[in-house]
Structure 1
Amino acid sequence: MISFSFIPKSKEEENFFKVYETLKNEGVTGIETIIGDHLPLESYKKYPVKGVHLLYYPTWLEFWKEDQEKVREDFYNDEGILNYYRSFKKEILLKTFKKQFEDAKKIEAKYLVFHVSHVRPKHIFTFDFDYTSIEVLDETLKIVNEVFKGDGPLLLFENLPWPGLTLKDYQLTKYFFERVKYENKGFLLDLSHIICTERNINNFQEADQYIIKKIKNLGKLNRFVYGVHVNGIDFKNYLDKDFSKEIEEWSNGDRNGKFKIELEHMKNLDPHKVYKGDLKSIFNELPNLKYINLELNFSSLDCLEEIIKEQLNYIK
């Protein structure tokens, strides 16, 4: 099944379905979306939702571990903490994910996507992390095993380049997967995220080889990779850049100013461009692949159709 990432907004339903009717002729069968407060839940039922990407907190471990000193270092004051987490109590994370889980079932999503990762804002430039992947995995398991219980959609754990689930280490991947109690589970391989874990990839041909190598390293765990996020990056050795200027501006900015710098940095690191590699070879390494989602950046519905069609040329 091929879908694309899309977050519905009010007053654009008619335009969306004009584009979607065309894309259906190209083999697209639905969308992967994020359920937010900007639309009532009933509105999502109008859309062809196949997957729900659960809310993602890039920075959460200090809050979860109730390390108030580090939380305030990252978010400054009560207003900053409340804007990000909507509470001062760690239980809000459990409450938020439980509601997302129930809402996804109500709109009959086929699968869910959960990010297993943590990074503090300043570390997206320095890669000097406070935590190891095993620490992130252990704390994530506490949340996952409390939230996801009983029957429900397929729960797919997505890789990121930060500490947590990178899908690069077989033993860590196995360790995490075996300890998830929710039975209907698997992995989602994000192509650009795994590329971002290796600085020496210069083009899509090298990216193909690297991704296939990492899939092979998963051994029999590759049969649990049920989903793929298709997206690419710009091969311009961005991470080799001297970020001293950005770090200085970030250090001297207020929370809003820092957020803008962080966002621009992440757009450069992971721009969600069309993946122009040999996708068929990658897919052939995943024997039980069910869900292919085109997670691409687009500025409006007017250009969405063109971008999706371009990406489909590398799949068909």
Structure 2
Amino acid sequence: MLELTNLSNADCDVESILQNDPNALADIVQAHHLDGIEFMRCAPWNRVLYPPAYIKGVHLMFWPVWLDFWRSDRAALMEEFGSEENIRAYYGTLDPAVWVEAWRENLRQAAECRPQYVVFHVAHNRTSEMYTRRFAVGDEEVVAAVVALVNEIAPVLPENCKLLFENLWWPGLTFQKPHLAERLLTRVSYPHTGFMLDTGHLMNTNLDLRDEADGAAYVEQIYYGLGELGRYVYGVHLHQSISGVYTREMMRRHADWNAPLGWRAAMDYVMHVDLHQPFQTDAARRIVDMIAPMYLVHEFQHRSREDLENKLNIQQTSLLTL
């Protein structure tokens, strides 16, 4: 098992985590006995700050709102974004074919890092649906669209790289419907597919969880419900998210909400739902022992190097408690 943490080359991580220090990544990896990082490439790749030897996986880019653009549903896009200028700003183009080519380029850039795997989010939602969780499209539609999109773009990946589908709590891959997980494996033509099970995202599908023990029991229930598909869970994004009280309150407070959210409001909501906090109990050990993944990624929201290292210390300690 490779033990990793998440890191991007966005300005916030370059400045707050690595502080533009060429030795910082090596120091973090060595101090926490990690094997490297799962890298999100948001800018040109600085190989001095992010040495290739430490990049074991790459998290691909993600547009949370994309299905309407893929379908060229102008009415839905105008309702969500309000203007062609805003649509272009979000997707970089008004042409879905150009957007698909941007996906291919992201895969090519990922392949340059020579990772063992890449991660693809299988989800879609409109911002107007976030508070209420009343979604206009269902899991089946999203999975079908992802299959079609991935079959267009995946051929640019080298065949020795795993393509891992990640679950969210929005329509798409939630692991609540094993037959849809199976559909991703059987209908995507790329030969090396599997799953990156995100424990926090999975917890976000159950608003009744009270603590880490509840969360671990729920992850166990869903994982065993996958049956034979469980052996295709090659990676785990390990973190905890107990946010049901907040989510229910927002559903109650915004019961009649149907307007799009601005970027800041949407991000604020997501950050309160998807907490990316470290496990502090032996619940973490039980999850890891059950799944026995090839890739264990300590995935956090981190504000500084000190914050990241504190969270790594807490969660790594929790893995030693049995």
Same fold per superposition (TM over 0.5): yes
Mind listing any 5+ residue stretches in structure 1 that lack a counterpart?
none
Q: Spell out, residue by residue over 1:72-121, the C-alpha distance to the aligned partner (whole angstroms, 9 max, x if none).
A: 11111122111110010111332122112111111111110000111011
Instruction: State the shift of 1:126 in Å.
Output: 1.1
Name which of 240, 244, 265 aligns with 1:232.
Answer: 240
Matches within 5 A, 1:41-190: 42=47, 46=51, 48-149=54-155, 151-190=159-198
Q: Spell out, residue by residue over 1:160-185, the C-alpha distance to the aligned partner (whole angstroms, 9 max, x if none).
A: 11111111212221122211111111
d(CA) in 2 for partners of 1:36, 1:242: 31
Matches within 5 A, 1:210-221: 210-221=218-229
Residues 71/168 of structure 1: CA separation in 2 closer, same or farther (3 Å cut): same
Range that drifts further, 192-201 or 272-281:
272-281
- Is the 8 Å Cα contact of residues 250 and 261 (structure 1) preserved in structure 2? no
Instruction: State the shift of 1:45 in Å.
Output: 5.4
Q: Which letter does structure 2 place at the counterpart of 1:304? A: L
Which residue number corresponds to residue 295 of structure 1? 299
- Is the 8 Å Cα contact of residues 23 and 305 (structure 1) preserved in structure 2? no
Name which of 16, 31, 34 aligns with 1:28.
Answer: 34
Instruction: State the shift of 1:135 in Å.
Output: 0.7
- Is the 8 Å Cα contact of residues 167 and 202 (structure 2) preserved in structure 1? yes
Which residue number corresponds to residue 314 of structure 1? 318
- Is the 8 Å Cα contact of residues 277 and 311 (structure 2) preserved in structure 1? no
d(CA) in 2 for partners of 1:138, 1:33: 27
Range that drifts further, 230-239 or 123-132:
230-239
Name which of 203, 213, 220 aligns with 1:205.
Answer: 213
Instruction: State the shift of 1:3 in Å.
Output: 0.9
Residues 43/121 of structure 1: CA separation in 2 closer, same or farther (3 Å cut): farther
- Is the 8 Å Cα contact of residues 120 and 164 (structure 2) preserved in structure 1? yes
Residues 286/50 of structure 1: CA separation in 2 closer, same or farther (3 Å cut): same
SS in 1 for 2:210: coil
Name which of 274, 278, 282 aligns with 2:278.
Answer: 274
- Is the 8 Å Cα contact of residues 117 and 161 (structure 2) preserved in structure 1? yes
Per the normalisation by structure 1, the TM-score is 0.90
Q: How many percent of aligned residue pairs carry the same amino acid? A: 25
Instruction: State the shift of 1:249 in Å.
Output: 9.1
- Is the 8 Å Cα contact of residues 199 and 238 (structure 2) preserved in structure 1? yes
d(CA) in 2 for partners of 1:102, 1:204: 38
Residues 168/276 of structure 1: CA separation in 2 closer, same or farther (3 Å cut): farther
Name which of 309, 319, 322 aligns with 1:305.
Answer: 309
Instruction: State the shift of 1:44 in Å.
Output: 6.8
- Is the 8 Å Cα contact of residues 85 and 92 (structure 1) preserved in structure 2? no
Mind listing any 5+ residue stretches in structure 2 that lack a counterpart?
none
d(CA) in 1 for partners of 2:42, 2:29: 25
1:223 aligns to 2:231 (yes or no) = yes
Instruction: State the shift of 1:22 in Å.
Output: 4.5
Range that drifts further, 97-106 or 62-71:
97-106
